[in-house]
Amino acid sequence: MRQVLDEAAKGGYGVGAFNVNNMEQIQAIMEAARETKSPVIVQASRGARAYSNDHFLYHLMLAATEVYPEIPTVLHLDHGNSVETCKSAIEMGFTSVMMDGSLLADGKTPSDFDYNVKVTREVVEMAHAKGVTVEGEIGCLGGIEDGHGAGLDGLSHLTDPQQAVEFVAASGLDALAIAIGTSHGAYKFSSAPTGETLKMSRLIEIHKRLPNTHLVMHGSSSVPKDLQDVINQYGGKLKPTWGVPVEEIQLGIKNGVRKINVDTDNRLAITGAIRKVFAETPEKFDPRDYMKPARDAMKKVVALRMTQFGQAGHAGDYTAIPLAEMAKRYAAK
């Protein structure tokens, strides 16, 4: 992932990181990448790894690189809760891991600065020896995703700019996730976010202090009303909610954001498409009859985000560096 983010920095664009749990989601992401000619980050949380089993997930990703050889593709561990979790992902073949030391190993309790540095540094040393990229986090996001998160309000533990500088220097990480008011899940904001709820000024300040560090925006689904409406039209009961406006993400990209995590939007697209098939053709029972439109709906959202983030058209800019070569580059630093 370090190479993908370095290239994004050169080109001044961001790269979407899309969560997966099954074959159809991986296919949707890769088809969108081919359609838009985009490099791509495919990421799996601990919950996804438990749901699909690492071996299935890894071999689905191998299939993706065989079917789409022209697409620079990253397999990233999202929100690793411990050194052991990151180690298991690296051994399985993940090319990038996140050590989220902002929370303790239970994935729920906010940690302190020293603990975060210690575990992140340990993962960096282990990962870089294998050529694997490391993302860390300072500050805590709001909400809970796949059982990971303190369930706090997005404004509870914002990233302190000076601490961010100290954390990057002490840990040696490749990418830094920051807390600026976003949350996991669909219910990020109860009204359209403003400067009081989404602290873009904090992001800009961090970028000024860390101009050469790749920043990461988590909880960055935009939760479009049209996707909510499809679900509710066909029997769903989503409460009104607002996500992160694409315009704010684009402002972030202009200020050092290179990786943007998107999950909820894809879940909404899939669920709306499945509900529509069930409602309009209740006689259908073949999973392919509803998984095909679900896959197509997710592909449409992913392709749109790839275009909006600026990564479209950049898949052919460079040749992917093998992990062994990356390990040599890390060792030479």
Domain ranges, ordered by start, for the chain: 2-326
Q: What is the pLDDT along the chain (333 residues), one digit of tens a residue?
A: 999 999 999 999 999 999 999 999 999 999 999 999 999 999 999 999 999 998 999 999 999 999 999 999 999 999 999 999 999 999 999 999 999 999 999 988 889 999 999 999 999 999 999 999 999 999 876 554 555 545 455 455 789 999 999 999 999 999 999 999 887 788 888 888 888 889 999 999 999 999 999 999 998 999 999 999 999 999 999 999 999 999 999 999 999 999 999 999 999 999 999 999 999 999 999 999 999 999 999 999 999 999 999 999 999 999 999 999 999 999 998
Write down the catalytic residue from 6, 54, 78, 106.
Answer: 78
End-to-end alpha carbon distance in the chain: 17
Contacts of 45 (CB under 8 A, 6+ apart): 19, 77, 78, 79, 145, 146, 148
How far apart (Å, rounded) are the C-alpha atoms in residues 148 and 80?
Answer: 9
- For residues 186, 190, 195, 198, the Cα torsion angle rounded to the nearest 10 degrees is -20
- H or E segment and range at residue 258: strand 257-262
pLDDT at 145: 58
Among the residues of the chain, which ranges form H helices? 2-11, 23-36, 46-52, 54-67, 83-92, 113-128, 161-171, 200-209, 225-233, 246-253, 264-280, 287-309, 323-332
pLDDT at 40: 97
- H or E segment and range at residue 137: strand 133-138
Query: Is 160 part of the annotated catalytic residue set?
Result: no
pLDDT at 152: 55
pLDDT at 142: 56
- pTM of the prediction? 0.94
How far apart (Å, rounded) are the C-alpha atoms in residues 5 and 270?
Answer: 28
pLDDT at 154: 47
268: tokens are 């909404």
Fold of the 2-326 domain:
TIM Barrel (3.20.20)
